[in-house]
Amino acid sequence: MNKDLSLSQGTEKAKQIRALFTNIAPYYDLLNHLFSINIDKRWRRFAAQKLSDILIYPQARALDVCCGTADLCLELGKQTPTIGVDFCHQMLVIGKKKIKGRPIVLLEGDALNLPFADASFEAITCAFGLRNLADTNLGLTEFYRLAKPGGRVAILEFSQPVIPIFRELFLFYFNRILPLIGGAISGSLSAYSYLPASVAKFPDQKRLVEMMETVGYKNVHYFNLTGGIAALHLGDKL
């Protein structure tokens, strides 16, 4: 497998990313929570809370793109019926076990060509998936297409730490320690080497705001989470 998946483009990158997540699916939840000391759960909960004013209406629906094993779907499903979409079958197999009895449906699909009509959802989310898409702008455009007027899109993604000393310590851990631990547990060093490489090449907080505004989003703003390790970007469709 190409060690620098972040440089791959188009269909080839999609194939590589699908294979990567298929391989690590059994360990995905464990490693996410271990590496973040469960802080990732708080990030997802915070993202869902920032959509509560949009999802309060009885007929509101939410779409979670790149839903993985459905952790964010579970948070959204506490407020409204939710559809989760991911292109990795093995991730969805795990997710379906977690959503039993919840108003959540999981579907296999392509984030850049989603099978829904224009203006179908009040809220659209994408957690830790946008940087994995072959075309970031196309992904943002597709999310915008699916949002109803008055709807909101939330992008939760790893970002650039903003506190100097903390930034250096975190980047050492993220770039040097995390790949070794993740590789040892999952058996896939390439997967956990890809993670820091893809984050390094992903637009920082301010650049992502500019990209969302160019697509057409209004009232775009973001929250740095845990010192900027992650950031939640919100944009409205008026």
158-176 residue pLDDT tens: 999 999 999 999 999 999 9
35-83 residue pLDDT tens: 888 899 999 999 999 999 999 999 999 999 999 999 999 999 999 999 9
pTM: 0.93
Q: What pLDDT sits at residue 2?
A: 40
Residue 7: pLDDT above 90? no
186-225 residue pLDDT tens: 999 888 999 999 999 999 999 999 999 999 999 999 999 9
Residue 8: pLDDT above 90? no
Residue ranges and CATH numbers for the domains of the chain are 5-237 (3.40.50.150)
Residue 110: pLDDT above 70? yes
Q: What pLDDT sits at residue 10?
A: 61
Band (pLDDT 50/70/90 cuts) for residue 4 is very low
Structure tokens at 65: 């793109």
